Amino acid sequence: MNRAATNRTVMIRTVMIRTVMIRTGILLTLGVLTLGASVLTGCRGWTSDKPPVHLNPNMDTQDKGRAFKRSDFFADGLTMRAPVEGTVARGFLREDDALSRGLGADGQPAQDFPATFAATAAAAERGKDRWMIYCAPCHGRAADGKGAVMARPAPGNYPIPAPSMLDARPRSMALGQLYAAIKDGVNNDNMPGYAAQLSEAERWDIVAYIVTLQANNPDPQAAKGARGGVDLSKLSPGEKVYNAKGCNACHTVDGTPKLGPTFKGMWGKTEQTDKGPALVDEAYLKESLANPMAKVVTGFPPVMPPVPLSDQELTDLIDYLKTLK
């Protein structure tokens, strides 16, 4: 075989080997790809009558109750349970009546700040900040009862005037009374309570601010008492009830109508009410104090809250009314 023929044979064999290698590579590549695709698609599962395999069954089959679902554990079949009697939510335990409710050791409104509250200038300043947010719209930025709500013209005006904190009655109120008014509201929610908006400390901050305002703005017409207000020790028993129970906030004794009818000349008078004429006697007073909405005097708004009085306090008040001719 000559050299040319030999070279041609070698070239043909080389081409054939390369072709075989290329085809083999292609087949191997396709095989790998097919195997990979099979593995990947095989992980997606397939139809089977057998239950699925769970590596940790406890995560899927926990014994637990769901709200509004029936329970086979409890006899009444209800999953949701009422809290055990006496349960107190975390953060809502109220052990200090002075701090939480404004009450003294005798169960009456506390005359002073709680021992656990520091009535400092900083507290009054915090109280001023809260006053401007929650109280000023009705009671005024200067606490004079001239807030923006009170200034609205008729017919959109507020029918019940907000008192000035500089008047004699707020000055004579126990600090616990001021705190309770902020917390619970007054006059059948004429003023709503702010327990949801203000914490216990913030309510006392506002009381501290009110006391500071009163101290900085003395009332020249008020007899000097414990806090610069009415000195109850110098009043008759009936006058003490009239001032201590807040009657003076709505009822005058000089014949001038206020939020309620005047006490002057009231005893023995026949008042016109929404239920008809009513004689002002002991039975009428008892009913009006216990259930003010039973008979509302014509021309006055139905805003008086119930006023619990002892038998002695009622007697003292009646004796006082009899003197107001």
> Three-class SS of residue 124?
helix
Residues 253 and 302 in one domain: yes
pLDDT for position 143: 92
Residues 165 and 198 in one domain: yes
pLDDT for position 224: 42
Residues 197 and 251 in one domain: no
Does residue 1 sit within a domain?
no
Residues 260 and 315 in one domain: yes
Residues 243 and 168 in one domain: no
Domain finish residue from 160, 181, 216: 216
Residues 189 and 276 in one domain: no
Q: How many domains is the chain built from?
A: 2
Write the secondary structure of 293-307 as one string of H (helix), E (strand) and C (coil): CCCCECCCCCCCCCC
Does residue 139 sit within a domain?
yes
Q: What is the token pair recorded at 72?
A: 């086979």
pLDDT for position 199: 94
Q: Where are the alpha helices (DSSP H) in 69-193?
A: 97-101, 121-130, 136-139, 168-172, 175-184
Residues 6+ apart with CB under 8 A from 30: none
pLDDT in tens, 62-87: 777 888 888 888 899 998 988 888 89
Does residue 256 sit within a domain?
yes
Does residue 56 sit within a domain?
no
pLDDT for position 10: 59
Measured between alpha carbons, how far is 25 from 34 in angstroms, rounded to an integer? 14
Does residue 166 sit within a domain?
yes
Residues 132 and 104 in one domain: yes
Q: What is the token pair recorded at 167?
A: 């008047």
pLDDT for position 220: 54
Residues 277 and 241 in one domain: yes
Domain finish residue from 167, 187, 216: 216
Measured between alpha carbons, how far is 247 from 288 in angstroms, rounded to an integer? 12
pLDDT for position 225: 41
Residues of the chain predicted below pLDDT 50: 222-229
Answering whether pTM is above 0.85, one says no
Q: Where are the alpha helices (DSSP H) in 153-266?
A: 168-172, 175-184, 200-216, 237-244
pLDDT for position 160: 76
User: What percent of the chain has pLDDT above 90?
Assistant: 26
Does residue 225 sit within a domain?
no
Residues 277 and 200 in one domain: no
Residues 6+ apart with CB under 8 A from 249: 163, 169, 259
pLDDT for position 38: 65
Is residue 262 within 8 Å of residue 247, measured between CB atoms?
A: no
Q: For the domain that residue 113 is a member of, what is the CATH number? A: 1.10.760.10
Does residue 262 sit within a domain?
yes
Residue 253 belongs to domain spanning: 235-323
Does residue 81 sit within a domain?
no
Residues 208 and 269 in one domain: no
